């Protein structure tokens, strides 16, 4: 399993903890930056992660910015991306179980390394339930192609 990871300048320290935990879980990690605390624009990072998933270079993505909000908004603009802003283990479980999320978005300001490790364990340990949720996800895919 390959996970592509991108963070803004608020989450560089947290990124190293994420990489270590993912590697301990047996995942290959694509580090898409940023590499230091020089300010960057989060939409640029979200685009890199979305591209990795859309081109099948990675199975899942993780995006971390100060609140997680900007990353989730930006990532969800890309076709085929189901980015979920997650604040705890229950949200991580439901993001996968009900929404088949393929990008996990985290707010560095609200998430300790310990909580994040627990969220990662739950997110990657939960499979999509399917069933009634398939119908709902199909509607979302239709929206991606709609001009309204």
| Dihedral angle of Cα 68, 71, 74, 75, to the nearest 10 degrees | -110
Active-site residue among 9, 10, 21, 65?
Answer: 65
The rounded distance, in Å, linking the Cα atoms of 66 and 75 is 15
Q: Tell me phi and psi for residue 30, to 5 degrees.
A: -100, 110
Q: Is 98 a catalytic residue?
A: yes
The rounded distance, in Å, linking the Cα atoms of 87 and 83 is 13
Active-site residue among 21, 98, 105, 133?
Answer: 98
Q: Are 72 and 43 in contact (CB under 8 A)?
A: no
The H or E element spanning position 114 is helix 113-125
* Alpha-carbon distances, residue 47 vs 7, 111, 122, 142 (angstroms): 12, 23, 25, 21
Positions annotated as catalytic residues are: 65, 98
């Amino acid at each position: 399993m390959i996970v592509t990871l991108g963070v803004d300048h608020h989450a560089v320290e947290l990124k190293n903890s994420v990489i270590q935990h993912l590697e301990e879980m047996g995942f290959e990690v694509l580090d898409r930056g940023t590499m230091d605390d020089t300010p960057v624009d989060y939409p640029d990072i979200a685009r890199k992660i979305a591209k990795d998933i859309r081109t099948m270079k990675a199975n899942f993505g993780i995006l971390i910015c100060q609140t997680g909000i900007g990353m989730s908004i930006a990532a969800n603009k890309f076709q085929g991306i189901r980015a979920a802003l997650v604040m705890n283990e229950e949200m991580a479980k439901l993001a996968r179980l009900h929404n088949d999320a393929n990008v996990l978005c985290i707010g560095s300001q609200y998430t300790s390394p310990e909580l994040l490790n627990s969220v990662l364990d739950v997110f990657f340990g939960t499979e999509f339930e399917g069933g009634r949720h398939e119908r709902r996800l199909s509607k979302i895919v239709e929206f991606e192609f709609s001009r309204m």
